[in-house]
Amino acid sequence: MTSFSAERAAKGSAGLSVLRRRGLSLRFHRRSLLVSTGLALLTGALLVLLVGSGEYPLSPAEVVEVLAGGGHAADAFIVNEVRLPRAVTGLLVGAALGLSGAVFQALVRNPLGSPDVLGFTQGAATGALAAIVLVGGGSMALATGAALGGILTGAVIYLLAWRGGAHGQRLILVGIGVAAILTGVNGYLLTRADMADAGRAVLWLTGSLDGRGWDSALPLLAVLCALLPLVVLGCGRGLRMMELGDDAAYALGVPVERVRLALLVAAVLLAAFAAAAAGPVAFVALTAPQLARRLTRASGPHLLPSLWTGAALLLAADWLAQRAFPGHLLPVGVVTGLLGGGYLVWLLARERRAGRL
């Protein structure tokens, strides 16, 4: 009977592979690993394509040659000083938003749980607007304001939603309320700004990668490097268990409240620093985890697939933004907004047909 059922179990866990050596074992979903690898390769290809395109086009081979340390001096300047920082910023922003969205959606157990809906993005915008309008600061002050605004909003929402443990549904409701209030505050701040400041503010609010240099990319890179192990290795397994409900996860030995707090802090930091680097780029955090889920066809929080989906999405959107209307450079946030908005409508229609809404 045991061998019979063991055979069944092996069949039941189809799609999962196990590596074992000396009492250690790793178990992974093959398709998820393939999807992550594929998306990482796609992201790399998009990066090369993006760096090569512009008024002074470079072939992918030339770009790769420069990235490897060779190439002409002029090419190297364009790649390393002008286009690469911008493209890397885009990649990091997409990765951070994808990961942040995956964490939020898993925590609140709702596909609508993303930093755009929960108010963190609006909070980052408030911080940035305050830096522009009230302090009149430059790009450094703006980025700091955005990061601080996002983090403060995260703390406020957590405290408001916390009652013997912050529950998913309550986080969403409180977050939507806070988002509405902050949208009002942001509108008020804009009316207080003079024309030049207001123009800068509006461009920032759309989400744009224009003129981003290494000083935008590096803080985000540092945050991502610090938080990625914490989120994926430290909390990933706990988050997976929390899909079963808080009680079941706690009963199975997950310190639910501690894991949730760590993940909320990490996701808020990721969203806040992404906003600091490129402004509140719309809908990537909402869309990437849902796309990743459909690609992997597995259960679970899909942290790494979402990260790579976000990076690929953002680079693709930036490429479109530069190419869609020749002679017109669109802010990347416009493209992600159009794509993501369309996707959201499709998602809502589908959920409604499935009777889940």
Partner 1 sequence: MATSVDAARGGTAAGSARLRGEALTLSYDGRTVVDGLDVAVPDGSFTVVVGPNACGKSTLLRALSRMLPPTAGHVVLDGDDIRGQPARRVARTLGLLPQSSTAPDGITVAELVARGRHPHQGLLRQWSPEDERVVAESMAATSVAELADRFVDELSGGQRQRVWIAMALAQETPLLLLDEPTTFLDVQHQYDVLDLCAHLHEERGRTLVAVLHDLNQAARYATHLVAMRDGRIVAQGPPAEVVTAALVEEVFRLPCRVIEDPETGTPLVVPAARRRAAV
Residues that bind partner 1 in the complex, under the rule CB under 8 A? 1-2, 4-6, 8-14, 16, 18, 20, 23-27, 109, 233, 237, 240-241, 243-245, 247-248, 250-255, 297-300
Helix, coil or strand: residue 155: helix
Shorter beta-carbon distance to partner 1: residue 136 or 255: 255
Q: Are 116 and 283 contacting, i.e. CB atoms less than 8 angstroms apart?
A: yes
Query: Residues 280, 170, 107, 217: what is their CA dihedral angle, to the nearest 10 degrees?
Result: 20
- CB contact set of 286 (below 8 Å; sequence gap of 6+): 101, 111, 112, 114, 116, 117, 340, 343, 344
Shorter beta-carbon distance to partner 1: residue 50 or 259: 259
Q: How far is CA 68 from CA 50, 61, 62, 65, in A?
A: 17, 10, 10, 5
Q: How does 104-136 read in b/e, with b if 16+ C-beta sit within 10 Å?
A: bbbbbbebbbbbbbbbbbbbbbbbbbbbbbeee
Amino acid identity, residue 58?
A: L
Query: From the CB of 245, what's the least distance to partner 1, in Å?
Result: 5
Query: From the CB of 286, what's the least distance to partner 1, in Å?
Result: 17
Shorter beta-carbon distance to partner 1: residue 2 or 191: 2
Q: What is the DSSP letter of 69?
A: T
Euclidean distance between CA atoms 298 and 118, whole angstroms: 25
Shorter beta-carbon distance to partner 1: residue 43 or 296: 296
Q: Are 263 and 107 contacting, i.e. CB atoms less than 8 angstroms apart?
A: yes
Shorter beta-carbon distance to partner 1: residue 298 or 320: 298
Query: From the CB of 116, what's the least distance to partner 1, in Å?
Result: 22
Query: From the CB of 84, what's the least distance to partner 1, in Å?
Result: 35
**Measuring CA to CA, which residue among 59, 116, 41, 53 is closest to residue 87?**
53
Amino acid identity, residue 64?
A: V
Query: From the CB of 31, what's the least distance to partner 1, in Å?
Result: 12
Q: What is the DSSP letter of 328?
A: B
Shorter beta-carbon distance to partner 1: residue 119 or 238: 238
Q: Which residues pair with 26 in a beta bridge?
A: 19
Query: From the CB of 98, what's the least distance to partner 1, in Å?
Result: 19
Q: Which residues pair with 27 in a beta bridge?
A: 18
Query: From the CB of 230, what's the least distance to partner 1, in Å?
Result: 13
Helix, coil or strand: residue 24: strand
Look up residue 141 and give its two tokens: 């002050």
Query: From the CB of 296, what's the least distance to partner 1, in Å?
Result: 10
Shorter beta-carbon distance to partner 1: residue 328 or 356: 356
Shorter beta-carbon distance to partner 1: residue 19 or 196: 19
